[in-house]
Each structure stands twice: as C-alpha cells, then as structure tokens.
Amino acid sequence: METTLLSRIADIHQSISNPRNTVSKDCLLDTLMALYTDCEKGTSKSTAVKQFLDKYKNTVEDIRKKNVSAADFDIKRFIQQGNFGDIYLVKEKQSHNTFVMKKVLREKMSNTVERDIMVKSSCPCIVNLFYSFQDMHHVYFIMEYVSGGDFATLLENQPDGYLNENKARFYIHELVQAVQYLHNLGYVHRDIKPDNMLLSATGHLKLTDFGSATQVDKKGLVTSIVPVGTPEYVAPEVLEWMEGNHGIKGYTASCDLWSIGVVSYELLTGNTPFNYETLDMTYSSILACDTEDNIQFPSNISISSTMKHFVQNLVQKMDVRLSMEQTLGHPVFDCLDEQPPCIPPPSQENKFHKKDKRKASPSLKGFQKENNYLETALPLIGISYSGDASTPALSSEETR
C-alpha cells in the first residue's frame, strides 16, 4: 500500500522525536551547532557563510543560553578519576536533585557509544542517563546517583576483603544479566571490573562506565585496535588483537565473559588471579591461561567445586570459554536467592567511591589528533541528550 505525503512527513517527525533513534532532535541540534561554530571560527567569510551566520545568529544564541550546561549543576564532591574522565557528585541548582557527572575531554571521545547505550537501555541493571551535553573542551554525562557505592569499595570494607560465596553468587548473576542485556543491544563493555559495578539503594547491581564500550559489526566482531580495558581484567584475545596478531579477524563479545570470570574470582578471594607487579608479567600470565587448572584458589577460603568450575571455565581461551547461554545456565545459579544479600545504609555519600589506584589502562595518547573544530565535532554529533529528569535520580534505582 502506497503511503501518503502526510504520513511520510509524520513518520519523519515521529522518528526525530525519539531520542533512541540515530537521528533525533538532539542530534539535529548538535549538527546545527557544530556547523555554526565551525563557520564562526573559520577563516572563510564568503557571502554564503556570512548569510548563514546572520540567519541563525539569534537562534544559536538562544539555544546556547537555554541548553543544559555545566552551569546548571553545583559540584558537591570529587568522586574519582577514571581512565576516560573525572567523576563528580553534583546537584542540579533548581531542583536540588542529586546526580553523578562524568566530565570527559573531547579529544578522548571519538563516538557516541557511551551515550547511546544508556539512552537505549531500559534495563534496571544499567545506570540511567538523564542528560548529556558538550562545550568547547568537554563532554558531560549526567547520570543517576547510585548511593551504595562501587564494588571495589564494597570489597575494601569487608572484614576479610572478599564476599562469602552466597553473596558473591547473587551479584555475579546480576552482572551476567547486565552484560547479556548489553550484548543483546549489540555492544561489548570491554572494561568490566568492580569499580564499574555499583550497588543500588535496594541492594541490586548496576553496571556503569561505558567509555571503553564498542559496537560489534554484522559478524559479531570487534575490529578496533585502540587499547582498552584494565590490564588485570583484559581477555587474552583482546591482548593478541591489540598486539597485532591479526591471524584472527577480531574478537567477540565473549571477552566480557572472561572479565566476569576474573571479577567473580576477585569477589570470592579479594584479589584477581593476575595481580602481578608489572604489566609484562600480568599480560604474560593472561596469555598463558589456556587450561582449566591455571586458576588456583586460596586453600583458606571456602569455595564450592561448582563455583570453581564456573570461574575456571570463564577464564579460558575464547574457543573453549563458556558461552553466555552456558554461563546463565550454569549449575552455580541453581539455588539462587532472589533477595539481595545486603541493603546499603540510607546515606553512603562519604563511601561512594575512592580514587582508583589500580594500574592505568593502555594509553590512548596519539589517537584522535584532529586539525580543526568540525573534524573534532563530527564524531560527537548525536552525543547530546535532554531526557526527563523531573524526578530525583535516586528514585530510578528504587524500582529494582
């Protein structure tokens, strides 16, 4: 049936009104602002450029004045410095709602993946995005404040430095569910670690920090060679690909399952299985981990043989590693308690995060050297998001 002119126009209007779509109102505004700023800064002042600047001057000034900006938020406290940006606890000046703000240098961002994941997600186990915006030097993400803190801090606060198996099992299962949801969206996280796992006010896990995430291609592969991840959690196939072993055609989302195995070991023991003094030793140990008995557990910690089997079969070479289906269906989850093992105290602001003192990720220095404003701006068109934050950010985590 042939569509009418009015229905086609209505389809376009409906499409751009959906922030989850590639071309949305926010994306179109980004495009206008990038073009205008480039013309404004450019050396060419042809008649056409002058006419364009004159035509849209008042509109652009109005948008700049009304758009969400860093000036709308009061910084209450610095939380931590991550691999891709600084994290702050902030309050919106008018509503006094509490949020977490991530501030990233523009030169460290080459796509809108981080924004896209949070906007597309409707999963309670993935942190919510309320706003994203940019200025001449930075990109900002305004996200929900997850009051229970991160799992790195949770482990530090345990008397023995680790969780008992029943507690760990609950959070491992929720982590797997979060990663499965992410994979179903077509993305790979690539930096799963306790620092990027948050504990909600209701005691559930939320996955955060998608700065290393990427989209898989039509074959389900990642082919980017940009260094990513945190050394102790990086899968061997990712290391091989980054080191130039292109006998393979890329790597798959299975690299996240390796990281889940490493995180599981850490929750159960307080350390990763690859905690060495130097990067060379860490990477060598990861690349050599190709048999089930390569992962040894401390004899003084009570861990079931089922849990050991689970971890050992995730921390394996890609071709023999558990699949996502096998991971979720593993017997370790057969007797899972549906109730969270602990509920954090009402206020955890002072314990929310500690500065990350782990080994730094592989350097990104040398990548993304742009020559002019438009070349820098083009990859970030569509980064903006002006979602509804009329209710306190904290309420969004209370639904789970």
Q: Which residues are catalytic?
A: 191
- CA–CA separation, 129 vs 143, rounded Å? 4
On whether the CB atoms of residues 147 and 201 are closer than 8 A, the answer is yes
SS3 state at 183: helix
Q: Which residues neighbour 151 within 8 Å (Cβ) at sequence distance 6 or greater?
A: 171, 194, 195, 197, 198, 199, 205, 267
- CA–CA separation, 69 vs 49, rounded Å? 27
SS3 percent helix, strand, coil of the chain, rounded to 5, is 40, 15, 45
Q: What's the token pair of residue 104?
A: 């990233």
Backbone angles phi, psi at 268, to 5 degrees: -85, -25
Give the total residue count for the chain.
400
On whether the CB atoms of residues 170 and 336 are closer than 8 A, the answer is yes
Q: Which residues neighbour 255 within 8 Å (Cβ) at sequence distance 6 or greater?
A: 188, 190, 222, 234, 235, 237, 238, 318
Q: What's the token pair of residue 372?
A: 């002019």
- CA–CA separation, 249 vs 399, rounded Å? 41
Q: Which residues neighbour 121 within 8 Å (Cβ) at sequence distance 6 or greater?
A: 128, 181, 185
Q: Which residues neighbour 41 within 8 Å (Cβ) at sequence distance 6 or greater?
A: 373
Identify which of 137, 139, 128 has the alpha carbon closest to the alpha carbon of residue 99: 128
Name the pairing type of β-strands 197-199 and 205-207.
Answer: antiparallel
DSSP string, 116-159: HHHHH---TTB--EEEEEE-SSEEEEEEE--TT-BHHHHHHTST
